[in-house]
Amino acid sequence: MIIGVGIDVAEIDRFDDALRRTPGMADRLFVERELWLPSGERRGTASLAARFAAKEALAKSLGAPGGLRWTDAEILTEPTGRPRLSVRGTVAVCADRLGVRGLHVSLSHDAGVASAVVIAEG
DSSP string, 65-107: -TT--GGGEEEEE-TTS-EEEEE-HHHHHHHHHHT--EEEEEE
C-alpha to C-alpha distance for 70 and 39, rounded to whole angstroms: 24
Nearest to 83 by CA among 112, 62, 103, 100: 103
pTM to 2 decimals?
A: 0.95
| pLDDT tens per residue across span 55-74 | 999 999 999 998 999 999 99
Q: Where are the domains of the chain?
A: 2-121
φ, ψ dihedrals at 67, nearest 5°: 85, 5
Give the Cβ contact number of residue 52 at 10 Å: 24
> Which CATH code for domain 2-121?
3.90.470.20
Mean pLDDT of all residues in 70-88: 95
Mean pLDDT of all residues in 77-101: 96
Residue 74 marked in a binding site: no
Residue 8 marked in a binding site: yes
